[in-house]
A and B are shown apart, each in its own frame.
Chain A
Amino acid sequence: MNKKISITIDGKEISAEEGRELLWVALENDIFIPNLCALKEKDRPSASCRLCFVEIEGFPRPVTSCTQPVTEGMVVNTRSPEVDRLVGTAFELLLSDHRLGCSKCPKNKACALQRIAKERKLKLKPKRLDKFEKDTPIDDSTDLFVLDRNRCVLCGRCIWADRHIARVGAIGFSQRGIKRKVSTFGDKLLKDSPCIECGECVEVCPVGALVFKKDYGK
C-alpha cells in the first residue's frame, strides 16, 4: 500500500493513496465525475470516452482524471468553463451516435448517460449536431441477453469482461474510426460465437447496449 497523501477536490480535503488515479479517489469520496470507459481493475486506463476531464491547479489545461495519478497537495476542480465545454461536447458527440428512446430502453433510469445528463444538466438530444442514423440489426440470438449496437458507446468494458472475467474471447473491437464496433469473429451472431452466455459483459455495460432478456419489457 502506498503512502497516504492529502488532496483537495472542489474545496473538499481528501486523504488518498499516493499515485492512484484521481477519478477513483473522487468517486469513492462521493464526488461525481462523468465516466464511461474506466474500470478500476484495468491496469492501464483506456481513456477513450473523454468525459472525465477535470481542472488541476498548475496544469495548463484540463486533464482526464482516469489517467491522472494523485500527488500530495493537488488541488482539483471538477467543474470550470473549460471542463464543462469539453465534457459537453464529448457528451453531445456520443449522443449524436446513440439511439435514444429511453422510455422503451430496459436501462431506463439505470443508464450512465442519463446520470451524466442529470448531474451536468446536459441535454440528451444533441442540439448543434445532426444525429448519425444508425440501423444495425439487433443481436438477440442468445437466450440470456440482447446486444443492440445502436446504443453502444464503445467504452470497451464488455470486451474487458469477456477477456478478463469470463476468459472466453467471444467479442472484440473490429474495424476502425467511425466504423469501429463490438464484434464477434467474422461478425457472426453471438450464438455462433464462442460465447458461453455467462452474462459478465452485460453486468458491466453502462448503457442499454447489452441487456438481459429478462429486463426487456419491464
Chain B
Amino acid sequence: MGEKKNHAEKQYQEIKTKAEVKKPLTQDKTVVMVGTATCGKAAGAIDVRETFKEEINKRKLNAEVVEVGCIGHCYAEPLVVISKPGFPSLCYGNVDEGLSSRLVEDYLVGDDPCYEYALVALEPNEEFPTFTDFPRGMFEQKVILEQCGLIDPEQIDHYIAVDGYHALAKALDMEPKEVIEMIKESRLRGRGGAGFPTGKKWDFCCMNVQDPVRYVICNADEGDPGAFMDRSILESNPHQVIEGLIICGYAVGASQGFIYVRSEYPQAVRRIYTALEQAREKGLLGEGILNTDFSFDIEVFQGSGAFVCGEETALIHSMEGKTGMPRHRPPFPAEVGFRGKPTVINNVKTLSYIPHILNKGVEWFQSIGTPDSPGTAVFALVGKIENTGLVEVPMGTTLRTLVYDVGGGIRNEKEFKAVQIGGPSGGCLPESALDIPIDFDSLQEAGAIMGSGGLVVLDEDDCMVEIARFFLDFTQKESCGKCTFCRLGTRHMLDILMRITTGQGEKKDIEILGDLAVDIKNGSLCGLGKTAPNPVLTTLRYFMDEYEEHIQGKRCPSLMCPELINFYIVPKKCSKLCSACVGSCPVEAIYTREDGLKAIDLEKCVKCNSCPLACPPEYDAIIKVSPPERVEELEKENA
C-alpha cells in the first residue's frame, strides 16, 4: 500500500475535520433525534417531531431536533433519542405528542429524564441499562446497522463525523486489485439471497481486459413481501451503501454506477438523491474523487413494481427499457451485463459491509460469524413475536436465539409453530429445526434459504397450508410468464392449494403438488421459478399432518382457513349485559336472542374475526370451530 501516495487520505482528513463540528452527539448541546423512517412515520413520528420543535421554540431552549432513520426497534415506534449534556443518551419508545411535551417540560427544562419511559441508554452509565444489558443486546452485533437511527441520513457530515468515507479514501490509496484481493480474502458472501462470494464476482467482472467499460449496480429492489432491511438501511444510512458502491466501482474499474431501487420506497428514493447530491458537493462522487484521478458517478433507477426484476438479468433488461424478463445464464452479468458490458450487481447489505471491511480489516470481519459465512446477518423480524424490528446477529447464531432471546419470544403466550425464512423463495422451519445455525449452507440443507432476510414467526394460530398458499399466490402473480414451468406450474400448484384450503382437496392432490414442486424447481429458467416451490416443499416436509387434516378431516387445525371454520358464541359464557360484539361486526351478523344472549347469523357472517377480539376477556365467549358443521352440533348440545 505504501508506494501509492496518500492523496485521498489527506483530502479526506480535511473534509472530516470540517464535518466533525457537526457531529450529532456533542456534549455541549441537547439533541432530540426522532426516527422518521417509513415505520416511524406510520406510527406518528412527524407529529412527535413537530411537538418537540414547537415546545422547544416556545421555551427558546438551546436544543436541536434532528431526523434520523430506524434504530431497529420497530415495535416501539415512534422512537426518540435525547442526548443532553451531563446525562447518558436515552432512547424512548412509543412516544406520542403528550409524552413529547412532557419530555420537554420535565427533561429538557427540568432535569428529570423520565426514566420510566426510557427504553435504553446508548452509552454505558451509572443510571440506566444499555443495549448490552438486555438479552437482545447480548446476542446482537451491529455492523451495518450500527449508525442506523443515530445519524441524520440527510446530513453527510453526520456520516463523515463517524469516520464515513474513510474507507473510500483508503481504497483509493490502494491498487484496485488489492481492494478485490481484500474482499476476496474476507470471504464476504452476497446478501441478496444466493450467497455468492463477492470478491470472486468482482474478479470475474475484470476478466475481460480488452473492454474497459464496466458497470456496477446496487440491487435495492427488495421485493420479498415480508422484508424491509434494505429500505431501512437506505433510509437510515444511505451514505454507507453509496460508499460501498463507489469502492466497488473503483475496484472493478467502472466509472458509472446505478442504484436500482423500488419506487414503492419513496422516502428511500428521496434520501438517496439527497445523499448523492451531498457526496458530489464534497468531491466524494463525480470527477476526480478525493483529488485522485478516479472519476465515478451514480444514477438512480426506479423499479416499477415487479418482484422478478430483483433477478439480475431481469433487472438489467428493465434498465435497458425492456420488459423485466430474465434470460438464460450464462453468460452472467459479470461477463455480459448492462449495455452488454461486464456488470457487478450487489445487494444493499453486501455493499454496506465493504467500508467496514476496508476500515477494520479482513481478520476483524472473519472473527464474526462462521468460517464459511463470515460477518453478520440482518433480519427483519416480524410476525407473532414480541420485538418486531430489524436485528443484526453474527452468522451462526441459532434460530432459537433469534426468536427467543433477540425477538423476545412469542407474543401473547401462544405456542411457537414455525419460522418462515427467506420469503417467497424460502421455507417454513418447525420447532425441531430451531437449533440450526443461521448461515447460507445450513439453511439450504434444511430446505429454506437465507434469502434476503425476511423472518416471519408463526404461532399455533397460523395455518401452514395457508402460508404455503399465500406465498404461491405471490410468486404466481409475480411470475414473469416467460417459461412454462413457472407460468403454468405455479398456477396449478396454487389451484391445488386453494382446493385444499377450501376443503375440496383430494388425497391425490398431495402427490401431484409434491411432484409439480420438484419439477418446477428443476425445470424453471430463473431463480424465481426455481425457488417458488420452497414454501410448499418445506411445509409438505415438516407439516404434512396439517395438509392431511384439511383433506381428510375437511378442517383447519389452526382455525384459520375461512372456508373451514365458523364463529360461535358460547351461550354459557355470553353476558346479557354486554353487546360489544354487536357493534364490532361490520355486516350486522350478530343479533340478540330472545333470552338476551347474542348469536351469529352464519348466513351474514363474513368471518372477519372482529367479534372475538371485541368480546371482553372476562367473557371470552366467541370461539372458532372447524369443520364449520361443528356449529350445528354445538347448538344442539347447548339447546
Q: Do chains A and B touch in the complex (CB under 8 A)?
A: yes
Complex formed: what's the CA distance from A62 to B516 in Å?
17
The reply on B73 being an interface residue by CB < 8 A is no
B522 partner, pick from A47, A86, A178, beta carbons under 8 A: A86
Residue picked from B323, B476, B492, B525, most chain A C-beta under 10 Å: B492
Please, which residues of chain B bring their CB within 8 A of the CB of A61? 522
Report yes or no: B516 in contact with A89, Cβ–Cβ below 8 A: yes
**0/1 per residue, A72-89, Cβ < 8 Å to B?**
000000000010011001
Residues of B within 8 A of A145 (CB): none
Which of these, B328, B479, B484, B495, contacts A176 with CB under 8 Å?
Answer: B479
**Cβ–Cβ contact A129 & B492, under 8 A:** yes
Q: Are B488 and A180 in contact (CB under 8 A)?
A: no
Contact of B488 among A64, A96, A173, A176 (CB under 8 A): A96
B492-A93 in contact (CB<8A) = yes
B-facing residues in A28-57 (Cβ within 8 Å): 44-51, 53
Please judge, given known A-B contacts A50-B523, A86-B523, whether A178 and B516 are in contact too, CB under 8 Å: no
The residue of chain A having its C-beta at the shortest distance from the C-beta of B479 within the complex is A177
Q: B320 to chain A: closest CB distance in Å? A: 13
CA distance A144 to B79 in the complex (A): 69
Do B484 and A90 have beta carbons less than 8 Å apart? yes
B524 contacts which chain A residues (CB < 8 A)? Answer: 50
CA A130 – CA B516 in complex, angstroms? Answer: 13
Q: Is the CB of B328 within 8 A of A50?
A: no
Cβ contact within 8 Å between A177 and B512: no
Shortest distance in angstroms between A49's beta carbon and chain B's nearest beta carbon? Answer: 6
In the complex, A132 has a CB within 8 A of chain B? yes
The proximity string for A residues 88-101 relative to B, scoring 1 for CB distances below 8 Å and 0 otherwise, is 01100110110000
Task: Find out whether the CB atom of B483 lies under 8 angstroms from the CB atom of A48.
Answer: yes
A96 to chain B, nearest CB (A): 6
Given that A47-B328, A64-B328, A89-B516 are known contacts, is A94 also in contact with B482, CB under 8 Å in the complex? no
Quick one: given A46-B482, A90-B485, A129-B512, are A177 and B476 in contact (CB under 8 Å)? yes
Tell me the complex Cα distance, A46–B145, Å.
41
Q: Is residue A188 contacting chain B, with contact meaning CB distance below 8 A?
A: no
Bound Cα distance A203, B327 (Å): 25
Residues 176 to 211 of chain A near chain B (Cβ within 8 Å): 176-180
Q: How far is the CA of A132 from the CA of B478 in the complex (A)?
A: 19
Q: When the two chains form the complex, which single residue of A45, A53, A180 contacts B487, counting CB atoms closer than 8 Å?
A: A180
Tell me whether B519 is interfacial, beta carbon within 8 Å.
Answer: yes
User: Once the chains bind, are A94 and B488 in contact (CB under 8 Å)?
Assistant: yes
Cβ-defined contact, B306 with A94, below 8 A: no
B483 with A50: CB separation less than 8 A: yes
Q: State in angstroms the CA–CA spacing of A90 and B524 once bound together.
A: 10
Please report the C-alpha to C-alpha distance between residue A176 and residue B479 in the assembled complex, in whole angstroms: 7
Check if A47 sits within 8 Å of B525, measured CB to CB: yes
Given A67-B328, A130-B492, A132-B491, A48-B484 contact (CB < 8 Å): yes
Is A116 an interface residue when CB atoms closer than 8 A count as contact? no
- CB A188 to nearest CB in B, in angstroms, measures 20
Is the pair A176, B481 in contact by a Cβ cutoff of 8 Å? yes
Nearest to B331 among chain A residues (CB) is: A44
**Which residues of chain B are near A51, meaning CB under 8 Å?**
484
CB-CB under 8 A from B476, the residues of chain A are 177-178
Residues in chain A near residue B477, CB distance under 8 A:
177
Residues of B within 8 A of A85 (CB): 519
Q: For the complex formed, measure the closest distance between the CB of A133 and the CB atoms of chain B, giving whole angstroms.
A: 12
A89 proximity list for chain B (CB < 8 A)? 485, 489, 515-516, 519, 523
Shortest Cβ distance from B509 into A: residue: A128
Q: Across the interface, which residues of A come within 8 angstroms of B519, CB to CB?
A: 85-86, 89-90
A103 on the B face (CB < 8 A)? no
Most buried by A among B479, B481, B491, B525: B481
Q: B378 within 8 Å of A by Cβ?
A: no
B484 touches A128 (CB 8 A): no
Q: Report how many residues on chain B are interfacial, defined by Cβ distance under 8 Å.
A: 28
Residue A2 is within 8 A (CB to CB) of chain B in the complex: no
Write out, one digit per residue, whether chain B residues 123-155 have a CB within 8 A of any chain A CB (1) or not (0).
000000000000000000000000000000000
Residue of A51, A89, A179 contacting most chain B CB atoms (<10 Å): A89
Q: What CA separation (Å) do A115 and B484 show in the bound complex?
A: 18
- What is the bound-complex CA distance between A86 and B484, given in angstroms? 11
Q: Do the beta carbons of B512 and A128 come within 8 Å of each other? A: yes
CB of B480 within 8 Å of the partner chain: yes
Assembled-state Cα–Cα distance A47/B495 (Å): 26
Beta-carbon contact of A47 and B481 below 8 Å: no
B478 touches A177 (CB 8 A): yes
- Give the CA-CA distance A97 to B486 in the complex, in Å: 13
Which B residues touch A146, using CB under 8 A?
Answer: none
A154 contacts B by Cβ under 8 Å = yes
Tell me the smallest distance from the CB of B329 to a CB of chain A, in Å: 9
Answer whether residue A175 sits at the interface, using C-beta atoms and an 8 A cutoff. yes
CB contacts (< 8 Å) of A175 on chain B: these are: 481
* C-alpha spacing A51/B485, complex, angstroms: 10
Q: How far is the CA of A175 from the CA of B482 in the complex (A)?
A: 11
Which residues of chain A are within 8 angstroms of B485 by Cβ–Cβ distance?
50, 89-90, 93
When distances are taken between beta carbons in the complex, the residues of chain A under 8 Å from B525 are: 47-48, 50
Contacts of B495 in A (CB 8 A): 130
Q: Mark A114-145, 1 if CB is under 8 A from B, else 0.
A: 00000000000000111010000000000000
Query: Which chain B residues in 301-321 approach chain A with CB under 8 Å?
Result: 306
Chain B residue contacts of A180, Cβ below 8 A: 480-482, 487
Asked whether, in the complex, the Cβ of A176 is within 8 Å of the Cβ of B483, the reply is no
Taking CB atoms and an 8 Å cut-off, the chain B residues in 431-487 that contact chain A are: 476-485, 487
Chain A residues within 8 Å of B479, by CB = 176-178
Beta-carbon contact of B484 and A93 below 8 Å: yes
Q: What is the bound-complex CA distance between A94 and B492, given in angstroms?
A: 11
| Least CB distance, A156 to chain B, in whole angstroms | 9
Are B491 and A173 neighbours in the complex by a CB distance under 8 Å?
A: no
Please name all residues of chain A whose beta carbon is closer than 8 Å to the beta carbon of B516 when the two chains form the complex: 89
* B523 touching A177, Cβ below 8 Å: no
The residue on A at minimum CB distance from B478 is: A177
Rounded to whole angstroms, the CA-CA distance of A154 and B485 in the bound complex is: 13
CB-CB under 8 A for A173 and B323, given A90-B484, A180-B481: yes
Cβ–Cβ contact B481 & A178, under 8 A: yes
Q: Determine the chain B residues whose CB is within 8 A of the CB of A82 once the complex forms.
A: 522
Within 8 A of A (CB), among B205-235: none
Q: Name the one of B484, B487, B515 contacting A177, with C-beta atoms under 8 angstroms.
A: B487
* Shortest distance from the beta carbon of A55 to any chain B beta carbon, whole Å: 12
Q: Find chain B residues with CB under 8 A from A132 CB.
A: 488, 491
Whole-angstrom distance between the Cβ of A149 and the nearest chain B Cβ:
14
A67 to B330, CA, bound (A): 9
Q: Please report the C-alpha to C-alpha distance between residue A51 and residue B525 in the assembled complex, in whole angstroms.
A: 12
Q: How far is the CB of B516 from chain A (nearest CB, A)?
A: 7
Are A49 and B488 within 8 A (Cβ)?
A: no
- A161 to B522 alpha-carbon distance, docked (Å): 30
Known: A64-B328, A176-B306. Is A48-B482 also a contact (CB below 8 A)?
A: yes
Q: Which residues of B have CB within 8 Å of A50?
A: 483-485, 523-525
Chain A residue contacts of B480, Cβ below 8 A: 176-177, 180
Instruction: Tell me the nearest residue of chain B to A82, going by C-beta.
Output: B522
Report A161-177 CB contacts with B as 1/0, cut-off 8 Å.
Answer: 00000000000010111
With the chains together, A97 CA to B491 CA distance in Å?
A: 11
Question: What are the residues of chain B within 8 A of A94 when measuring CB–CB?
Answer: 484, 488
- In the complex, residue of chain A having the shortest beta-carbon distance to the beta carbon of B475: A177
Given contacts A96-B488, A132-B491, A154-B481, 12 further A-B contacts (CB under 8 A): A48-B482, A51-B484, A82-B522, A90-B484, A90-B519, A96-B492, A176-B323, A176-B479, A176-B480, A176-B481, A177-B480, A177-B491
Q: Which 7 A-B pairs have the closest CB atoms?
A: A180-B481, A93-B488, A89-B519, A177-B479, A177-B481, A47-B328, A67-B328
6 sampled A-B residue pairs with Cβ under 8 A: A61-B522, A64-B328, A82-B522, A93-B492, A96-B488, A130-B492
